[in-house]
Amino acid sequence: MMTNQLFPPFANEPFTDFSQEDNKKAMQSALAAVRASLGQHYPLRIDGKAVETDGRITSINPAKKDEVVGTVGKASRELAEEAMQSALAAFELWKKVPAEERAGYLVKAAELMRSRKHEFSAWMVLEAGKNWGEADADTAEAIDFLEYYAREMIKLSETNERQPLVKLAGEDNKLTYIPLGVGVVIPPWNFPLAICAGMTSAALVAGNTVVLKPASTTPVIAYKFYELMVEAGVPANVIQYLPGSGGEIGDYLTGHPKTRFISFTGSKEVGLHINKLAAEQAESQIWMKRVIAEMGGKDGIVVDETADLEAAADAIVASAFGFQGQKCSAGSRAVIVESVYDKVVSMVEERTKKLVMGLPEDNAPVGPVIDETSYNRILGYIEKGRKEGRLLAGGGKGLDGGYFIEPTVFADAAPDAVIMQEEIFGPVLALAKASDWQEAIAIYNNTEFGLTGAFFSGNEQRIQTALETMHCGNLYINRKCTGALVGVHPFGGFNMSGTDSKAGGHDYLLLFTQAKLTSRRIG
């Protein structure tokens, strides 16, 4: 039997240094191999079997709109029901598999992914529009989730030894954590491997089975993940691969009486819709469904006059425009105290204008946004920004042939401006002025979201106040507000940013389990 001692201590997967020629050539080779595989069709996977459908979803390269990455099957409600019944049957066997064995499958999957790291990254370059560094970080995070949750499950299975109950003479009392049942996992397109792997593997290693409904813009990388898990030894019917319409199969599965939990990452609007559907008791439903939701944010960076202004400007630009601002942690606003406002604004403008736009496969710093819907929505916000602020950089469309938008900065935005309040999820940054650092924090807190934030200051007393009063799930001091690492920065937010799920943290697996106390009289 595998024990925790057989696992080396968890360590984050290193990022690839693409300045080294060998790594650069390896990535180029992976891109060439993946490009040679474009255009294939990937069926649904129900009960471990390939299922063909009349409907199809086409995945395209957002940097080259005429390039088809692949097609996947599109499930109907009838097929969703088949997937649910298969997952229910699989659960009866999977829940009995020892935790050590389930953890072993995750470690094996991490090993396989590590051996094909550039291949998985290359799929994201072409399907999600990530440059090499962003794709490599996504793959590294996926490996981290697999390794981390494997170890956490071992710890959780030994809870009675690690966190012993109070002893009572004449009784043997034990607290164990058992799986919930069938879960619907709905990952986002912006971290199509890492978050998909994290949400799915956490559910599986805890003993649940999963109906996986990937994002319609990035379904191919999700299929590759499904294949990897089966290759690692996970029974093929423990994960049902089920692309399809959110309004059709997503709602159907969320409302299904046998669904035990819904794990979702995406927009506030969809998250609230899922929560509302899940709260209704369906006929024959005998539990309250659990919703584990991460719903984005309107994240920001606060800069006071004692801060290292160069470092603050670097962080503002990196947080705003990494992966074209398409991160739930992206710093889409910055609040700067009046005495250094003009200086920081000038630095941000200068840095933004130096960003180079190009193809993700060429590792350009700025690539496309994900699809036409996002493209049009972001351009609409830019038009609002022209009325609400002073345009400093960008504001226009980018390269032809893809969904490119220039990194855009608006200065002098009012705290209640639309571009300061609503999640844009694109390369748009709003800058606001505050009279002092306390007002800056108040402006930062003036939002319905609460995911990430950063405070730049050289004053320890102010830092202590910021730590207490800036209301978000992940607060960073004197560094950017993106780039959470598994095990280092458990990730999840407050308010309309979701259920503070703290992915990559010690308590995450508790969300996929339920505690059972057993008490036996002895003697």
Residues involved in catalysis: 294, 328
- Asked whether the beta carbons of 389 and 417 are under 8 A apart, the reply is yes
Q: Is-contact 194 141, C-beta < 8 A? A: yes
Q: CB-hemisphere CA count at 13 Å for 224?
A: 27
Q: Which helix (H) or strand (E) holds 340?
A: helix 338-353
> Which structure tokens are listed for 229?
């898990």
Half-sphere exposure (Cβ direction) of 139: Cα atoms closer than 13 Å: 30
CB of 38 closer than 8 Å to CB of 126: yes
Query: Using an 8 Å Cβ cutoff, are 171 and 520 in contact?
Result: yes
Please name the amino acid found at residue 451: L
Q: How many CA atoms lie within 13 A of 271 on its CB side?
A: 21
What residue has token string 């550039």? 118
Residue 9 CB neighbours (<10 A) = 5
- Of 503, 511, 494, nearest to 268 by C-alpha is 494
How many Å apart are CA 9 and CA 460, to the nearest integer? 33
Edge to edge, what strands does the sheet with 44-46 contain?
A: 49-51, 44-46, 239-241, 209-212, 182-186, 259-265, 290-294
Contact 210, 200 (CB under 8 A): yes
Q: Nearest CA to 388 among 411, 358, 355? A: 411
Show Cβ contacts of residue 433 under 8 Å, excluding neighbours closer than 6 positions: 335, 336, 337, 338, 341, 412
Is 451 strand, coil or helix?
A: coil
462 phi/psi in degrees, rounded to 5: -65, -40
d(C-alpha 11, C-alpha 16), whole Å: 15
- Report the amino acid identity of residue 178: I
Q: How many C-beta atoms surround the C-beta of residue 96 within 10 A?
A: 9
Distance (Å, rounded) from C-alpha 451 to C-alpha 472? 5
Cβ-based neighbours of 98, under 8 Å, separated by 6 or more = 1
